[in-house]
């Protein structure tokens, strides 16, 4: 049999996957657009104090509890008990309510940039119409998610 090499992830593949998962390019673009070059200091600060420790902690816990199917809840259940695991799962769920609620608006903003080349599309609608569009988009995605 010919010499077969195992496929391996290189450090830069893992670093990019971690960056996209934890931080994402959207945060880079949005923060740069809002704050300009001043944001570079906060990126370095956040990278050192949040991103690197978070990636190392998740990597360690993920490799320690390979059999767990609940992610953060499983890790906390095995390390700190079921009460804190429930609290972690609950807070994770609560945090996602506003996160998911703002996604349709972000889609409308991106659609405006794609169609008009600027962010003025949503400014053309009244607040009630924009809320209605956002709600309709949210309900549509909920319907799609319920079918999958």
- 99-109 per-position pLDDT tens digit: 888 888 888 88
| pLDDT given at position 147 | 92
| pLDDT given at position 3 | 66
Buried b (16+ CB within 10 A) or exposed e, 15-40: eeebeeeebeeeeeeebeeeeeeebe
| pLDDT given at position 9 | 82
User: Which residues does the chain have with pLDDT short of 50?
Assistant: none
pLDDT more than 70, % of the chain: 97
The DSSP-derived string for 55-94 is: HHHHHHHHHHTTT-SSTHHHHHHHHH-HHHHHHHHHHHHH
| pLDDT given at position 1 | 55
| pLDDT given at position 101 | 82
Of residues 44, 51, 64, the one with CA closest to residue 19: 51
CB contact at 8 A, 22 and 54: yes
| pLDDT given at position 135 | 92
| pLDDT given at position 92 | 86
List the chain domain ranges: 6-64, 89-148
| pLDDT given at position 80 | 92
């Amino acid at each position: 049999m010919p010499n077969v090499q195992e496929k391996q992830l290189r450090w830069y593949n893992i670093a990019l996957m971690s960056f996209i998962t934890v931080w994402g390019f959207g945060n880079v673009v949005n923060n740069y657009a809002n704050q300009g070059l001043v944001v570079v200091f906060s990126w370095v600060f956040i990278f050192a104090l949040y991103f690197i420790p978070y990636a190392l902690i998740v990597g360690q816990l993920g490799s320690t509890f390979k059999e767990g199917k609940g992610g953060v809840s499983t890790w906390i259940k095995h390390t700190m008990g079921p009460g804190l695991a429930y609290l972690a799962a609950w807070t994770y769920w609560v945090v996602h309510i506003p996160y998911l609620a703002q996604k349709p608006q972000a889609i409308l903003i991106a659609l405006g940039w794609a169609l008009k080349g600027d962010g003025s599309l949503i400014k053309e609608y009244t607040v009630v119409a924009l809320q209605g569009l956002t709600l309709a988009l949210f309900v549509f995605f909920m319907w799609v998610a319920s079918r999958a």
